[in-house]
Amino acid sequence: MVNLHQAIPSEQQSLPSDDASTFIIKMTKALATYGAPAHRLEDALVSVSERLGIEGQFFSAPTAVFASINAPGDKPHTYLIRVHPGEVHLERMVQLDEILIEVGEGRLTPAEGIQRIEAALAEPDRYGVLLTIASFSVSSACASRFFGGGLNEVFAALFVGLAIGLLIVLASRGRDLARLIEFMCGLMVSFGAVAWARLVQPISPEILMLAGLIVLFPGLTLTMAINELATRNLSSGTSRMMSAITALVSIGFGVALGTKLADMLFGAATTQHEPGGLPAWTLYLAVAIAPVALTVLFKARPLDTPALILSGLIAYAGARIGALNFGPELGACVGAGLMGLYANLYSRVVRRPSTVPSTVGVMLLVPGSISFQSVSSFLAHDAVGGIETAFTTLLVAMSLVIGFLLSNVALPPRRAL
């Protein structure tokens, strides 16, 4: 068994001698690094292996992929490809999808495909640090409107999102701090929300906490885990599920500690502030603006922004209509189904991965805030409330997955990714 560690290009001696097998291994690591779900990754790799005349079998987990490759004229080899999952990078996914298709259709040789992969991975990120931090701020402000915040909450969320963005950028430069990012952000946001409410202007600290931490809630990871479990990728799905739970608990401990410290310094709240109402049209304005910020945070190409905005509007409108007619749980299924149909249609027409619009659209549907409320209930020794909200979280996540699976049956995507 060959162990391929983090930097594949510097370990050519460990790679197979033929270009086709080397291409498959490099593509495997790249797809796993940039967030491809287990079932999509395995389907894509099996498909390109068959086109290259190679018998390939793959077993994907969030931190490693086993690849068994049987090339003609050579004995089978099994490789352990160690993966350090990175952030979602939609532009890289588009580039890797194009390379997969071109190599599979014979328009590129495997050797040329290897060069294209290395060139894509070597490209610097399109968006700079300042724009990334600003996008955290904008996404938090939009989220505060989603949670029913008024003008005061939206204004405060701009600053909270800015602080979150700064902390995340700093944490990305050190591994030890990055491992504490959920706890640190929970501590900072909860302390800041209570301090703002006591010292600056009357706001709802709960709404500000949810808005500031929304980008860290592992709702996308949780939904991906349920999706992998539903597609019988049990190992990967279970691993992602535990990762999501760990992140939630870390955020919950940070919020509990920050709130406790703020109450000790500024005193406990004596009255509950009711957010001021904003016009209904501001909600849909926030739904339209949020995907623009997520375009930067998920590192999508600027030309994909209109498709991402439309995906967010379809997902949100579908969920609202579904909730009014069938309840919130089935409403999520309706929103996910409509958005999945749109993503698959986008994939067929534009010849791009359906994950590009669906990743942003699902962010407006995932039950991140509900899962956070579950952890908060447990920390407040409300076991019954915690179990109820945890069950609601799983129900909403499963509803989303069913919606996506139904959309794939009604209109299958053009390609695996």
> How high is the pLDDT of residue 11?
40
Q: Is the dihedral of CA 6, 8, 14, 20 positive or negative?
A: positive
Q: Is pTM, for the whole model, over 0.75? A: yes
> How high is the pLDDT of residue 13?
39
Other residues' Cβ atoms within 10 Å of the Cβ of residue 249:
16
> How high is the pLDDT of residue 9?
38
Along the chain (417 residues), what's the average pLDDT of each consecutive run of 10 residues? 37 58 90 84 88 88 87 80 81 91 88 92 89 93 87 91 90 78 90 88 86 81 80 83 84 88 80 75 88 91 90 87 81 87 90 85 68 58 65 78 86 73
d(CA 295, CA 376): 30
Q: Which residues contact 328 (CB under 8 A, 6 or more apart)?
A: 396
d(CA 206, CA 259): 10
Amino acid occupying residue 56: G
> How high is the pLDDT of residue 115?
93
Q: Measure the CA dihedral 125/131/137/143, to 10°.
A: -60
The residue with tokens 């991965």 is 353
> How high is the pLDDT of residue 191?
92
> How high is the pLDDT of residue 12?
38
> How high is the pLDDT of residue 4?
37
> How high is the pLDDT of residue 86?
67
Q: Tokens in use for 317?
A: 């409108």
